[in-house]
Structure 1
Amino acid sequence: MIRLDTGAVREIALLAAHCDDLAIGLGGTLLTLADTVPGLRVRALVLTGAGTERAVEEKQALAAFCPGAEVDLRILDIPDGYAPAHWERAKRAVAELRRDGNPDLVFAPHRGDAHQDHRLLAELAPTEFRDQLVLGYEILKWETDTPQPSIFHPLPEGCAERKAELLLEHYPSQRDRDWFDAQSFLGLTRLRGVQCRARHAEAFLLDKAIITFGGQ
């Protein structure tokens, strides 16, 4: 399998509709980046949950998933499930996140996600982050919208297990969901690992990128 290199990553932007989307979609990747990039800058936007226990969980979780990183987390109070009705506010928040930083890499939901709030961010991301690599992450959930990813990130040994542990530790409000358990999270990362000849991996979808042949 041919490897593609993003080059140096100093700052990343994260877009999520709900608290816990980021940890579920790319928790292992965040742990890896924080471990390998000293002084990593993380700019994150979550559309829903401000003023609730979910916001408290998200703040603590993101700190745990990005240890040692400089984290700027913004959480809005758009009603869950109604983000498309608040298009202008969501668009403005994504634009502000773009203006306030200079990310080398952007993570957002993928366009084929069945949840309308996720799809809205997937559509908004490339309209603001035009010169960055935008990777669409997958969110394990009830809907049968599991994608066919094109980019795989093999996780270091023990990283997938650590991701599952942190999810259960930092999101107690979600433990009553019948799918929110370590077996589910490890099942998906194991599947993605099989697909890229690794033990565990996280996978992403890519709409557009520039490739330079021969390393020139």
Structure 2
Amino acid sequence: MIRLGAGPLGSLVVVGAHCDDIAIGAGGALLTMCRARPGLRVDALVLSGGGGEREREERAALAAFCPGADLRLTVLKLPDGRLPARWEEAKSAVEELRARTEPDLVLAPRTDDAHQDHRGLAKLVSTAFRDHLVLGYEIVKWDGDLGRPSAYQPLSPETAEEKARLLQEHYPSQRHRPWYDREAFLGLARIRGIECHTRYAEAFAVAKLTLDLGE
């Protein structure tokens, strides 16, 4: 499998439409990056769930998924499933995030995600962070919209297990969902691992990637 490194990585932006999106889609990558780079700045924006149980879950979860990082989390109160109707608010939030950050990497939902909130946020990110490497994470769900990803982050078995454990531990409000369990999270990670010749992995979509083969 061909490998490309990220180069110097001192600042990261992660965005999610809902609390738990970031952890489900990129929790393993966050654990991997933050452990390898103590003090990594992580600016996180979540559009919905603010002011209640969901925000408390998200703050505890991302603190666990970003060990040793300089985590700066904002959780807004946009209504779940209504992003198109609150487009201006969402757009302003993403643009404000862009104005105060200059990240080396951006993690966001995929632009072809079946959920309208995920898809809308992905489109906002792609216009606000035009000159940045944006990796689109995937979220397993009822819609069955998993595709053919183009980039993989291998995960050690320990990291994959820890991701599944932390998701169960920190989001009790989601345990009633039929797809929200250890088997689903590890199953997808195992499939993505097969695709990149490793045990476990997370997969991402990449719209544009600039190479520097002279360095």
Give the TM interval when normalised to the shorter protein.
over 0.9
* Cross-structure match for 2:54: 54
Letter in 1 for 2:166: L
Deviations 1:65-122 (A, max 9, x none): 0011011111111100001111111011001111111110001100110000000111
Gaps in structure 1 of 5+ consecutive residues: none
| TM-score (norm. length: structure 1) | 0.98
CA distance in 2, matches of 1:167, 1:95: 29
Give the aligned partner of residue 76 of structure 2: 76
1:212 offset after TM fit, Å? 2.2
In structure 2, distance between residues paired with 1:54 and 1:14: 17
Give the structure 2 partner of residue 139 of structure 1.
139
Quote the Cα distance in structure 2 between the aligned partners of 1:161 and 1:63: 17
| Other structure's SS at 1:158 match | helix
Runs of 4+ off more than 2 Å: none
Deviation, structure 1 residue 157:
3.4
Query: Structure 2, unaligned stretches of length 5 or more?
Result: none
Contact map agreement 1:192 1:200 (CA 8 A) in 2? yes
Distance in 1 (alpha carbons) for counterparts of 2:186 and 2:178: 15
Q: Return the alpha-carbon distance in structure 2 between the equivalents of residues 35 and 6 of structure 1.
A: 15
Question: Percent of counterpart pairs with the same letter?
Answer: 57
Q: Distance in 2 between matches of 1:33 and 1:103?
A: 14
In 1, the alpha carbon distance for the partners of 2:54 and 2:26 equals: 18
Aligned partner of 1:32 in structure 2 is 32
> Helix, strand or coil for the counterpart of 1:15?
strand
Q: How does 1:36-115 map to 2 (within 5 A)?
A: 36-115=36-115
Give the TM-score taking structure 2 as reference length. Answer: 0.98
- Residue 203 (structure 1) aligns with: 203
Shift of residue 156, structure 1, vs aligned partner = 2.3
